[in-house]
Chain A
Amino acid sequence: MSSFLDYAIPGIPYGCGFALLAVGLVLTFRATGVFNLAFGAQAFLSAFVFDLLNQYAHWDQPASFALAVLVVAPGLGLALDRFLFRHIPTASSTAKVVSSLGLLVAIPEMIPIIFGGRTRHRIGYLWLSPNLVYFHLGSTPVNGADIATTVITLGVVAALLAMFRWSAAGVTMRAVVESRRLSQLEGVNASRVAAGAWALSSTLAGLSGVLLLSQSNSIDPTNPLAFTTLLVAGITAAALASMESISVALLGGIGLGVLENVLVKYLPPGSVLATGFLPSLPFAVLVIVLLANPRLRHIEQSSDPMASVDPPPPPPAVSTRDPRLAAPMKWGFRILMVAFVASVLTWVPGNWVFVLAQGIVFSVIFLSVTMITGMSGQLSLCQATFAGIGAFTAGRLAEHLGLSVLAGALVGGLLAALVGIVLAVVVSRVSGLLLTLVTLAFAIFADNVLFQFSWSGGGITGVDVPRPAIGPLSFASDRYFLVLALVILAFCMLLVVLVQRGTVGRYLAAMRGSPGAAASLGINLTSTKVVVFAMSAGLAGIGGALYGSAEGPIASTDFSYVLSLVWVVVVITTGATTVEGAVQAGMAFAVLAQVLSYLPSRLDGLEFVMFAFGALTYAKHPEGIVEYQKARWLARVSRLLAAWDARHPGSGQPSLAGSGETASAAPAGSVELSNG
């Protein structure tokens, strides 16, 4: 028994870290309706500022704490509310998640740009030193960090609970959460209350960041990812609490910490279970919780009795192009393609050929995002993992069986699709937001566990995916490889366009418009979604194999889950609803990275930041900011043509009714006739 406690007790402060994250997630979700994936990034920012002040500026702990947690963190929360979330209160939960995803990518990338990179000398801590053992509990030594974390976490959560339960401010906040509109009728300034909730939850994020600093050496304030990994455990605990109960979130977080520690004792050290199962524990628990907790299925449904007061969200700007633009655009595109291939084969310098080939490979992968996010409106955060599955499969097959890389890519794509099916079937009963969370958790699981095995992405030398060859034709040179990749891209684009215009694509369009009406036609939404998810995973797998082939030896880090986040953000920014959008995204991503490499290294992450800020506009322009601007320009040209027609009657083609106008009208269908 005492040896059980020896393992269980250290799990408590460890779990407190999860618990704070979980409580913060629940609080933000309850108070603002946003599933705030950026929570980890917010925690990171405060931890970074605290560390900077404490270690470099030599401020003492209370002053550093005051600035980092009590000034910077709430300030960030207020800024998020003021400049972002206040403007999208009626956006879908997917749109809100995309916005928070943009922040998750942008905030950590901005820090080195603003402050420069730092290395860490010693462990920062808030209150009691982690190097001192204060007392023993049984035979377990309890150090300062353990005490500080546990006491502060329990204290803060108790204070929160008390506030919500008994204080007038807490009651007001709960009222605003339930219905912004109704609370306004009671004379409550709902915007101010929401801003307060953002400040509060952001402070909580900051606090958890600073507390986690002292918990472990492995959390490096210059490495934002460490916080996000902890986020999976946080999400799990929050899911346990049905995104509702703060106290269950607390207990769930601590419980997870204890469970992980206790399992260390009972699983044979060094066995597959210990190396494979243990790190994936939060993922496994999350999947079980998501499937077993029926209350999670309805978390996206608004409980606001006055939801119908709000006008429907703006539809994507549908622009009708002047039909005369079609021919020049088509020919322009063809000429551009010929010129592109000719240039690549002749005068373009070698390093740029490689960059362009990379862009084409990215385009193939990004088409998978078009399929899953653009067409079926779901947000998958594990596309890089699928790409990794494709790449490692192709590489290992080439290595062991001597299989051609092209065949290997197909097998890899199939395997990725299979994994996609399993994943999609598992989450098919739950809603869109939960799919997003499961894919994120799966990506992190693959990163930490699946790709670490020597038969997948592990090993010292990595996996070598050779360049493809068809018979005597070798595509080893970058120039020829690029042409091959272009052909594959064309095939993939064709496939996506066919699906988009075919029956399945129409079903998906119906589903995006109105799931209820789609079901009333006999369309099985679940199986349609599963199929599209599998196809998307397959495309990502093929693209991943190509990526591996382009890059040379690859390792698990080439498909880290962060890439999934970045890729999604990039595609959403440029346009997730069209195949052109994916190609623009792929080329822009590769070319921008190359251009920025000429800048000082401090600006390394700038392209991520640029794209991430683009993603923040998703709620307003779900078709992507680049596509939106393009549509506006085409509409403008169309209007000019129409104006020219008006002044020169009889010339040009008779324009169709309505052409040249931007039909930005709201769908008549989503207008709720207020009963009055």
Chain B
Amino acid sequence: MGDHAPLLDARSISIHFGGLRALAEVSVQVYEGESLGIVGPNGAGKTTLFNCLCGQLRPDNGSVSFAGRPIDGLPSYRRARLGIARTFQRIEVFPEMTVFEHLMVAERARRGDGRLWKDLLNLGRPRRDELENVEEMLSLVGLSDVAMTPVAALSLGHCRLVELGRALMLQPRLLMADEPSSGLDTRETQVLGDLLRYVQRERSVAMILVEHDLDMVARVVDRAMVLDFGEMVAEGTLREVMANPEVRRAYLGRGA
């Protein structure tokens, strides 16, 4: 794949809910190993764009391709198998499971590779190599101490890390993180930001980060785009877009 072919290429995505225009002609390109930040006020359509890219929503118009192949018709689980992993703004964990089980489920899902018979016959205990993978991830996200704790008993910060670890178990080519710092305190945000940066730089995972916290965005992303009212207002480095007067007006309010 040449340098010029983006890993993820979404063109002119539009979607309406009832009479509400949620996204209008938004295009996003992410290159291999690159990290892109999407910022914008609440209700600007960031999460909607996310869901369109992951396959949870079908846009009214536009096309999405990944690694050179169109993925428009694919449901979200097929996109996940292609290497698109995500986290959720409203935490989506499995309340009955421990941290360890979260990662193990993801490991099994990756290994099963969508083959039903593999999953059906896999009745026993985890194998050694599976355990090794899970333990490595536990130490990467720093959850080894709470591995056997049910997530129901964990703090929000821990849950965000569980989601991140679970997504990374898929060994994704593109990681999409939806407001990972939302609801976290400054220290937790710092830990998460470091982790995201590490994953993106060291493992060269491409990343799309939707985020309110501009500090975090500044530390993690190479490039940023600004969404407002369902439209892309600006694109460039974070410094560039934040200097854009239109962005400042739309985003920060009158006189800011």
Tell me whether B42 is interfacial, beta carbon within 8 Å: yes
- A672 CA to B91 CA in the complex, in Å? 8
B217 near A: Cβ within 8 Å?
no
Bound-complex Cα distance A668 to B97 (A): 12
Question: Do B156 and A524 touch (CB < 8 A)?
Answer: no
CA distance A540 to B150 in the complex (A): 33
Q: Are B91 and A671 in contact (CB under 8 A)?
A: yes
Contact B97 A510 (CB under 8 A): yes
Contact of A504 among B75, B119, B183 (CB under 8 A): B119
Q: Which residue of B lies closest to A524 (CB)?
A: B77
A318 within 8 A of B: yes
- In the complex, what residues of B have CB within 8 A of residue A516's CB? 56, 76, 88, 92
Instruction: Give the B interface residue count (CB, 8 A).
Output: 53
Near A by CB (< 8 A), chain B positions 136-156 give: 149-156
Tell me the bound Cα distance from A665 to B166 in angstroms.
22
When the two chains form their complex, are residues B114 and A524 in contact, meaning their CB atoms are under 8 A apart? yes
Residue B96 at the chain A interface, CB threshold 8 Å:
yes
Decide if A507 is an interface residue (CB 8 Å cutoff). Answer: yes
Residue B11 at the A interface, CB < 8 A?
no
Residues of chain A within 8 A (CB-CB) of B124 are: 502
B90 to chain A, nearest CB (A): 5
Interface flag for A498 (CB, 8 Å): yes
Report whether A503 and B108 are in contact in the complex, using a CB–CB cutoff of 8 Å: yes
Contacts of B118 in A (CB 8 A): 503
A625–B223 alpha-carbon span in the complex (Å): 55
Q: Does A2 contact B (CB under 8 A)?
A: no
A513 at the B interface (CB under 8 A): yes
A517 adjacent to B93 (CB under 8 Å): yes
In the assembled complex, which residues on chain A have CB atoms less than 8 Å from the CB atom of B110? 521-522
Q: Is B68 an interface residue (CB 8 A)?
A: no
Q: Do the beta carbons of B94 and A522 come within 8 Å of each other?
A: no
Q: Is B106 an interface residue (CB 8 A)?
A: yes
Within 200-253 of B, Cβ neighbours of A (below 8 Å) are at none
Which residues from A are CB-within-8-Å of B108? Answer: 503, 506-507
Q: How far, in angstroms, from A527 to B124 measured CA to CA in the complex?
A: 21
**Contacts of B104 on A, CB cut-off 8 Å?**
506
The contact string, 1 if C-beta is below 8 Å from chain A, for chain B 147-176, is 001111111101100010011011000000
Given contacts A513-B94, A514-B93, A670-B95, contact A521 B166 (CB under 8 A): yes
Chain B 94-137 interface mask (CB, 8 Å, partner A; 1/0): 11110001001110111010101011101110000000000000
Give Cα A14 to B86, complex, Å: 54
Residues of chain B contacted by A517 (CB below 8 angstroms): 88, 92-94, 163, 166
Nearest A residue to B89, CB-CB: A673
Are A506 and B154 touching (Cβ within 8 A)? no
Name the A residues within 8 Å of B151 (CB-CB).
Answer: 667-669
B220 to chain A minimum Cβ distance, whole angstroms, is: 20
Find chain B residues with CB under 8 A from A668 CB. 91, 93, 151-156, 158-159
A residues in contact with B116, CB < 8 Å? 524, 527, 531
Distance in Å: Cβ of A66 to nearest Cβ of chain B: 45
Segment 626-676 of A: residues with Cβ below 8 Å from B = 658, 663, 665-673, 675
A509-B94, A524-B114, A669-B95 are known contacts. Are A663 and B183 too (CB-CB below 8 A)?
Answer: no
A87 within 8 A of B: no
Once the chains bind, are A513 and B112 in contact (CB under 8 Å)? no
Q: A668-B156, A671-B156 are in contact. Are A503 and B95 (CB under 8 A)?
A: no
Q: 7 A-B pairs, CB-CB below 8 angstroms?
A: A318-B150, A502-B122, A507-B119, A521-B105, A522-B77, A665-B152, A673-B182
Interface centre among A523, A531, A663, A665 (most CB of B within 10 A): A523
What distance in Å separates the Cβ of A179 from its nearest Cβ neighbour in chain B?
A: 15
**B23 interface residue per 8 A CB criterion:** no
Q: A663 to B153, Cβ gap below 8 A?
A: yes
Q: Which B residues are in CB contact (< 8 Å) with A510?
A: 94, 97, 105
B95, A513: Cβ atoms under 8 Å?
A: yes
Interface contact A522-B150, CB-CB below 8 Å: no
Residues in chain A near residue B153, CB distance under 8 A:
658, 663, 665, 668
Q: Which residues of the other chain, B, contact A519 by a CB distance below 8 angstroms? A: 56, 75-77, 80
**A520 on the interface (CB 8 Å rule)?**
yes
Closest to B116 in A: A527
Q: B104: shortest Cβ distance to chain A, in Å?
A: 7
Any A CB within 8 A of the CB of B85: yes
B58 within 8 A of A: no
A161 close to B (CB within 8 Å): no
B81 at the interface (CB under 8 A from A): yes
Instruction: Indicate with 1 or 0, residue by residue over A527-547, a CB within 8 angstroms of chain B CB atoms.
Output: 110010000000000000000
CB of A315 within 8 A of chain B? Answer: yes
Apart from A514-B93, A516-B92, A523-B109, what 15 extra A-B contacts exist at CB < 8 Å?
Answer: A507-B119, A509-B94, A509-B97, A513-B96, A514-B92, A517-B94, A520-B80, A520-B167, A522-B114, A523-B105, A658-B149, A666-B152, A668-B93, A671-B91, A672-B90
Q: Which residues of B contact A504 (CB under 8 A)?
A: 119-120
Beta-carbon contacts under 8 Å, A485-527 to B: 498-499, 501-504, 506-507, 509-510, 512-514, 516-525, 527
Partner of B92, one of A315, A523, A669, A675: A669
Interface: B54 (CB within 8 A): yes
Q: How far is the CA of A506 from the CA of B93 in the complex (A)?
A: 13
How long is the Cα–Cα vector from A634 to B109 in the complex, in angstroms?
Answer: 34
Whether B109 and A521, one on each chain, are in contact in the complex, defined by CB atoms closer than 8 angstroms, is: yes
A503-B112, A524-B77, A668-B159 as given contacts; A315 in contact with B119, CB under 8 Å: no
